[in-house]
A and B are shown apart, each in its own frame.
Chain A
Amino acid sequence: MSHGHKVASALVGAVLLAAGAFLLTYSPAANASDVFSRMMWGTALAAGAVTVALAVYGLAYAGTGRQRAAERRRLAASHGRQGYAPDRLDLRPIRPAKFWWNMALIMLGVLFVSSAAGTGMTLSALLEMPARVWDFSGQMIGGVAQIPDEDVRGDWSSAFDAMLESVAIAWIGTLVGALFSLPCGILAARNLTPLGTYIPMRFILSVIRAVPEIVFAVAIFIPLLGVGPAERGGAMAGAFALGISSIGTLSKLISESIEGVDQGPLEASRASGATHMQMIRWAVLPQVLPEVLAIWLYRFEVNIRASAILGALGAGGIGRLISPPNGLFGQRPYDWEAIGITLFVIIAVTMAVDQISGFVRHRVIHGKTVRRRTRKQAEAAPPPEPPRAVAL
């Protein structure tokens, strides 16, 4: 019986998946308007599955009954007499039932199926996709590979201009974020700041982090700075939206790295009568500056990617070039050659910027040493924390 519940769970999972796929594929997409009822369908299906799984689980539990009874008897006996020496078999522990863990897994499956039903995806469309992908990527590669004539040269240069504009947006955004994040980070570091400033600062930063950058862009900076192409202010709106939302993450990371500094120099400068500002300038900043620079550069890479989505909302850059209604994907029929060229430029520029910034980061942190492959000999794995790298 020991593996019975695993078999059953697998079976139930398979049935669930099959049923879910059926439900998803054959739901009439046009009038499947009520998300809620579709999700309920999925949930009901899943609830049945959970019931079955629970029953199986109960059976499995009952199956170990004899062993548990023996264990109880053994324990009771050992309480009675001193020096009870059980034989070897008796020492084997009972397999602990990981009830909540299993339940969490089952719930995850349920969640998956019901939300897959909830999205109302028309999965059957996937069947037609490969042919189109083949056709279109052929055209895209053809577009990139052909010898440029006048028209195609225009595609290349507009893609390149838009991508550089994205880089410019990301740069200004990172700069704005960087300028504000250093003081904010210092104010949000527990070892440098009194509690009275620390708590409000932390609160403000977590509020900033909670607001998505599209909200900043749409609600504040597009009205304030304009929308559309760069000369009408769209790019500036994007840059400032990125900048403000960078402040949140950057300050948090910086404050964490400040909290992790070596306390020795701080105490030394405090002991020699330095003022607070002097201590920050001479004891803290030299220690954290390389890491802070690396954090800023990392955020720059992230911002390049993030600027695309703001562009789709009306802020400038590559997002504006590709997104409908006026962009490349808004035209019918699709101009696949131009799209291919644009994608190529996006990939090339992004990877180039990543490489350069990665090189500078490495140089800033490790100095002028030759890159060597050293395996970290972590004695104990550091405790898992939410990812410090805020990738996008």
Chain B
Amino acid sequence: MSAALSERPVTEPRPEPGTDRPSPPKPALAPYLGLVLLAAAAASFFIWNWEGQAVLFLPLGDTVLWAPRDPLLGLGAMMLILVLCWRLRVSPMGAFGGLAIVVITYWAGSNIHFIDRIAEVPRRLTGGNTRDQLVGYFNPDWSYLLFQNVAGTSRPIWGEWLITLCMAVVATIIGCFIGLLLAMLASPVSSLNTGTSQTVKAINSVVRSIPDVGWALLFAAFLGGTAYGLGALAAVLALIMFNIGIVAKLLGESIDAIHPGPLEAADAAGATLVQRDRVAVLPAVMPSFISYSLYVFELNIRASAALGVVGVAGIGGELSRQIGRMSQGYENVGAILWALVLVVLMVDLLSLWIRRRLL
């Protein structure tokens, strides 16, 4: 719209005060009418797919009109966005984008029962155990965290934290190195040929699209269980896959962007591909590599705490056990969560310090 504003002829004499300034050109009407039709079609589709019970009543004199609430709200939002775009002189393409956002939001909101759940929040706050839960979380039981053992074993709870950190360290180191190799293969700058680079990129996007929980569950199944040693191994393997995906993608992009001059120089000196990658590519991306590794380490701490939920080792396992026994009180879960925040904060600070020192 700033483009539209700047199209105003500057040479035109200044209008007398009081007279109308030439207004910026309005966007074409026809596409907007089309968009209105599109909105109407979407609204009727919403009504057709409507499953809720909530209805709005419009008392109109002696008759009462009623309409399904959610689709009507959706229609209202769509019309609002169109009018807004019209007033702001957004191009039809932009208005279409806005409309698309509203439609997707309507779909997503109805999919997760947005309005119903929001409407229910006050009721939950006053009744039920929500209040107890929130109070419990803010009164964590630190002695549980420091002195107790995991139920049924002789392993202390703080030991589980250590295991979590250990898993993160091992997975970061292995995953980052494999990720480095894959990034080298994935970037057309440093790869053998285009075919290899495309294949590796495709494999990498498959690896990346499976979430870390999925990997953990898969490896737990592949290893044949989540017994003590197996669970840790499954978690480490899952984190490794998770790290490979991130490092290979981010680092591959940094390799794409490196200055091609040194590569050419290495080529001109008769270096083989491996030599070229080692002497010219690796030093150029080393700072990004270290930075990404530290970043991945932070992510691993968060993720390895969560992975325990699926039954593997570390503090996550204890967290999910405690969540499962929440009827006995919320202080234990609260302690774990607070400690998680503390640990993540400390790891953040540590990696900030290393980053400052190294880079």
Chain A residues within CB distance 8 Å of chain B: 29-30, 32-36, 39, 108, 111-112, 114-116, 118-123, 125-126, 128-129, 132-133, 136, 164-165, 167-169, 171-172, 175, 209-212, 214-215, 218-220, 223-226, 230-231, 233, 235-236, 239, 282, 286, 305-306, 308-309, 311-314, 316, 318-319, 322-324, 329, 334, 343, 346-347, 350-351, 354, 375-381, 383-387, 389, 391-392
Contacts and interface: CB of A to CB of B under 8 A. Distances in A.
A381 B284 contact: yes
Given A29-B228, A210-B341, A384 B359 contact: yes
B288 A171 contact: no
Nearest to A380: B259
A225 B333 CA distance: 18
A23 to B, nearest CB: 13
Interface of B: 2, 104-105, 107-109, 111-114, 116-118, 120-121, 124-125, 129-130, 133-134, 137, 153-155, 159, 162-163, 165-167, 169-170, 173, 205-206, 208-214, 217-218, 220-224, 227-230, 232-233, 236, 246, 249-250, 256-260, 284, 287-288, 290-292, 294-295, 299, 302-303, 305-307, 309-311, 313, 319-320, 323, 333-334, 337, 340-341, 344-345, 348, 355, 359
B213 A218 contact: no
A207 B120 CA distance: 29
Contacts of A210: 341, 344-345, 348
B211 A34 contact: no
A64 B185 CA distance: 40
Q: Which 10 A-B pairs have the closest CB atoms?
A: A122-B229, A308-B211, A384-B287, A350-B209, A168-B108, A29-B229, A115-B166, A235-B112, A118-B166, A168-B111
A145 B295 CA distance: 39
Contacts, number: 262
Contacts of A169: 108, 112
Contact of B209 (A239, A354, A376): A354
A149 B319 CA distance: 40
Contact of B323 (A32, A313, A351, A383): A313
Contact of A323 (B167, B205, B310): B310
A364 to B, nearest CB: 9
Contact of B249 (A29, A175, A319, A391): A391
Given A39-B166, A122-B229, A171-B104, 10 more contacts: A35-B159, A115-B170, A126-B223, A136-B221, A172-B105, A210-B344, A282-B2, A343-B210, A380-B259, A389-B250
A128 B223 CA distance: 7
16 contacts: A32-B229, A112-B170, A114-B166, A123-B233, A136-B222, A169-B112, A210-B345, A210-B348, A214-B340, A223-B133, A225-B117, A231-B113, A313-B306, A319-B213, A323-B213, A323-B310
Contacts of A29: 227-229
Best-buried of A116, A120, A132 by chain B (most CB within 10 Å): A120
A375 B260 contact: yes
Say what secondary structure dominates the interface of chain A: helix
Contact of A230 (B111, B208, B220): B111
A212 B222 contact: no
A236 B162 contact: no
B211 A318 contact: yes
A343 B217 CA distance: 11
B224 A132 contact: yes
Contact of B295 (A128, A211, A387): A387
Contact of B111 (A125, A235, A386): A235
A28 to B, nearest CB: 9
A312 B306 contact: yes
